[in-house]
Amino acid sequence: MIALKITDTKDFMTKLLAGDTFDTFLFSEGTVTTFTTFAMDGTWHPEFFGEKEHTPLTWKLMRPVIYSLVRGKHTPIQMRIVLKLADYNVESLLRQSGLSLASEQVDGLFLNLNYGKDEVSVTTGTSLKIFTLDRSLDRIWDDMVRKFFLSRRIAAAEA
C-alpha cells in the first residue's frame, strides 16, 4: 500500500472528472459532499436499463453522474471515490508479473481517491480471497500505479 499526494489538484480533477484517464476502472463506491452527502455503493442494477446480464459498473459510466454533482460555483466539501482495476487487467497484471496467484484469488486492486480542502490523496489497496503473508502483489500493484500516473502525467508525491 502506498499513499500519494497529488501535487496538481486542478489537473488531476480534470483528468478524473472530464477526461477518460480512469475510464477502464470499475466504480466500487463513493461519496460526494456538497450541500448534502451523496453516497453510492457501486451496486449495478441492470434491470433499470432492461438488461438481464450483469455489466460491470465502470468509471466511464459513473463519471458524468459524479461530475454533475460537483460542477457549479462551489467546489465539493469532500469527495471519496474507490476505483477497482477491471478483472481483465488483473489477469494481465498477474500474467506479466509472473506471480503464482490465480485471478480468482484476487478480490480487487483498488485506488482510494480522497478530495478535501483543495487537496487530493490516493491510496492503493489490495484484497485477496485467500490468506497469505506474501506482499508481492501489493508491491506490483503499487509499482503499476506509479507507472500509470507517470504515463498519464499525473503529478504525485509519496505522502
DSSP H or E stretch at residue 13? helix 9-17
User: What's the mean pLDDT in 80-92?
Assistant: 96
Considering its fold, how many domains does the chain have in total?
A: 1
Q: What percent of the chain has pLDDT over 90?
A: 80
Supply the range of the domain harboring residue 69.
3-158
Q: Does position 72 have pLDDT exceeding 90, yes or no?
A: no
pLDDT tens, position by position, 94-134: 999 988 888 899 999 999 999 999 999 999 999 999 998 88
Cα distance between residue 26 and residue 29, in whole Å: 9
Average predicted confidence (pLDDT) for the chain: 93
What's the mean pLDDT in 137-150? 96
Give me the DSSP letters along 78-121. Answer: EEEEEEE--HHHHHHHHHHHT-S--GGGEEEEEEEEEEETTEEE
The pTM of this model reads 0.93
